[in-house]
Amino acid sequence: MAVKAILYIMERDLRYFFRYKWWLAGMVSMNLADLFIMAVVYTRMVDPKIGNYFLFFSPGITITALFAAAFMIGREINREIRREISHYMLSLPIKRWELAFGRVLAGAVRGIIYMIPLLLTTLAVTALLAGNVPSALEILTIILALFLISIGTSGLSITIAVSTTSFEKYVTTRGVVYYVLFFCSTVFYPLKFIESVMPQAFALIAKYNPLSCGADLARSFLLRNQSIELFMPLDLMVFALIFASAALFAYMKIMQK
Amino acid sequence: MISLRNVWVVAERDLRTFLNYKHVLIMRALWFLAQIALFGLVVNKMLRPDVQEAVGGSYFSFYAAGIIISLLYSTSVFIGYDIYEEADHGVIEYLLSLPVSRKELVLGRSIGGGLRSFLYVSPMLMVVLYLIWSSNPQSFVSPLQLFIAFLALFLFTFGVSGFSITLAVSIKSSDKFDIFLGMINALIVRLSTTLYPLVYMPSYYAGIAQFNPLTFAADLFRWGAGLESAVLTAPAIAIFGIISFFSLFTFLGIFLHERVLEGGSWQ
């Protein structure tokens, strides 16, 4: 029964996801602008000793895409609370934890579905420019790692969404979370530069930031420029577990208000 | 006939409303800090020495001056979200019932939106000027240059507010507005000189970026702050660009506001 109920909730959220054609178009344009405008220009400015910046950044695009798509569920939940649609959700013959769990998972699945075309873009870029084609098992490992990030991000967005009824506060907090998590990670630049500029504490945060782990894990398979360390998958699991639990707790609590 | 007093009353209301968003204001300041202290410093380390030379000696200063313009832009477009919040709570109808003409209303909102973002960004603007001047104490700064740059930025914020109002009243759907603005933000910031100079952009991007109002504002601010660099847009062209942008969107805002605001259909 629980699985069926969760699947119903996930199906509902997935149907909603594909209704937002404009949203998807907007997000695709943002992600592609990062890769095909920003990364292209920085490639012309970055010291060649560092390597090809476009190639370095391209696996990062999967993380930015995943993050944006998985964060969308929070936006919807925030709107449901403001418009009191949550009362309708409570009237459904579904337990509250099933509802909460279904929504966290739906957010994560949406992130993965949206990210796949961008992962394919990255695969094409790395195959063309670096000549690396990962095996099927390696691609599956990348998708699994990204799914864990997606669960954590979905949980994080739901936790923020239920903490405020103001849309502006949600949008602005989303922006800050985005900048802090991304800029203090290896999505945009290698760790050695963060270590050379930032205090030790920031460098540590950047190293163990789940977005860094996801990006570096993807790079290790796509660019073969670094080895995978044991803490990376562990870090991703902990991130997913903490924020999925926080979202379950916060969502169930707000629904009972 | 437009009454300046009415315009000011509307602008003053928007200034007061802005102060209610303490959370948003604090978050935006953090947003700015993250961009400067994280992205700016790290990327500065990664660039070629000749790039540092070309942008006036320090990419960090170049970047900080650009980021403040993108912050000015993002706080000025905020007026559009205000309009949706008002539509959501039925305040639009209240505003329409006031003894203020539609022209005065939109002009006041455009000025209020621009002024509040300028006032909000001012302390951070000072921080950026301090960073620029402290990194290069030899840079000569003419007070007149700085004054002209500030005046142009003022017009820029009014123009952006007019642009946001134009979009908000044309789209009338908060979701679509947020998405559309996100799309525009992604392109308008990346296809401008806020992050990098025109000379390093491929020609197909530079062709668009040279007409971008953010390019005009960013390069004019750098010029005003004394960042000597051959890669900046000529100040006269930048001033002309900003005045054109301001005039176009203030006019469009007034035109559309008068015709579209009434009649509901807000989503």
Contact A40 B195 (CB under 8 A): no
Give pLDDT, residue B262: 64
On whether any CB of chain B is under 8 Å from the CB of A116, the answer is no
Residue B83 has pLDDT above 70, yes or no: yes
Q: Which two tokens stand for residue B9?
A: 């009353």
- Closest residue in B to A32 (Cα) is B186
What number of CA atoms fall less than 13 Å from residue A147's CA on the CB side? Answer: 10
Residue A37 pLDDT level (bands cut at 50, 70, 90): very high
Under DSSP, the state recorded for B57 is: S
Rounded distance between C-alpha atoms, residue B178 and residue B67, angstroms: 21
Contact B200 A189 (CB under 8 A): no
For residue B47, the cross-strand partners are A46
- Closest residue in B to A31 (Cα) is B186
Chain A residues whose CB is inside 8 A of the B30 CB are: 176, 179-180
Judge whether B119 lies within some domain.
Answer: yes
Mind telling me how many Å the CA of B143 is from chain A's nearest CA? 32
Q: Which of A33, A172, A188 sits opposite B27 (nearest CB)?
A: A172
Residue B14 has pLDDT above 90, yes or no: no
Complex ipTM value: 0.84
Contact B45 A38 (CB under 8 A): no
Judge whether B265 lies within some domain.
Answer: no
Contact A197 B45 (CB under 8 A): yes
Judge whether B89 lies within some domain.
Answer: yes
- Closest residue in A to B41 (Cα) is A197
- List pLDDT tens digits, range A38-97: 999 999 999 988 889 999 999 989 999 899 888 888 888 888 888 888 788 888 888 888
Rounded distance between C-alpha atoms, residue A42 and residue A29, angstroms: 18
Interface of B with A in 68-127 (CB under 8 A): 78, 81, 84-85
Chain B residues whose CB is inside 8 A of the A173 CB are: 27
Rounded distance between C-alpha atoms, residue B226 and residue B107, angstroms: 33
How many structural domains comprise chain B? 1
Contact A34 B186 (CB under 8 A): yes
Rounded distance between C-alpha atoms, residue B254 and residue B7, angstroms: 12
| Higher pLDDT pick, A183 / A20 | A183
- Closest residue in A to B201 (Cα) is A41
Contact status, residue B251 vs residue B107, Cβ threshold 8 Å: no
- List pLDDT tens digits, range B122-162: 889 999 999 888 887 776 678 898 999 999 998 998 889 88
Contact A46 B46 (CB under 8 A): yes
Chain A residues whose CB is inside 8 A of the B47 CB are: 45-47
Chain A residues whose CB is inside 8 A of the B27 CB are: 169, 172-173, 175-176
Give pLDDT, residue B265: 63
On whether any CB of chain B is under 8 Å from the CB of A171, the answer is yes
Contact status, residue B200 vs residue B114, Cβ threshold 8 Å: no
Q: Which two tokens stand for residue B89?
A: 């709570």
| Higher pLDDT pick, A79 / A218 | A218
Q: Which of A166, A171, A189 sits opposite B46 (nearest CB)?
A: A189
Give pLDDT, residue B210: 92
Contact status, residue A35 vs residue A57, Cβ threshold 8 Å: yes
On whether any CB of chain A is under 8 Å from the CB of B176, the answer is yes
Give pLDDT, residue A11: 92
Residue A220 has pLDDT above 60, yes or no: yes
Q: Which two tokens stand for residue B62?
A: 């170049």
Contact A42 B21 (CB under 8 A): no
Give pLDDT, residue A127: 92
On whether any CB of chain A is under 8 Å from the CB of B23, the answer is yes
Contact B24 A169 (CB under 8 A): yes
How many H-runs (helices) and E-runs (strands) does chain A carry?
Answer: 12, 0
Note down the domain range covering B143. 4-260
Mean pLDDT of B215-231: 86
Judge whether B267 lies within some domain.
Answer: no
Other residues' Cβ atoms within 10 Å of the Cβ of residue A118 = 22
Contact B174 A167 (CB under 8 A): yes
| Higher pLDDT pick, A97 / B89 | A97
Mind telling me how many Å the CA of B81 is from chain A's nearest CA? 7
Judge whether B239 lies within some domain.
Answer: yes
Burial class (CB in 10 A: 0-12, 13-18, 19+), A229: middle
Interface of A with B in 42-61 (CB under 8 A): 42, 44-48, 50, 53
Chain B residues whose CB is inside 8 A of the A26 CB are: 179-180, 182-183, 186
Mind telling me how many Å the CA of A46 is from chain B's nearest CA? 4
Can you spell out the DSSP letters for B101-160? -HHHHHHHHHHHHHHHHHHHHHHHHHHHHHHHHHH-TT----HHHHHHHHHHHHHHHHHH
Residue B202 pLDDT level (bands cut at 50, 70, 90): very high
For residue A46, the cross-strand partners are B47
Residue B267 has pLDDT above 70, yes or no: no
Contact A48 B205 (CB under 8 A): no
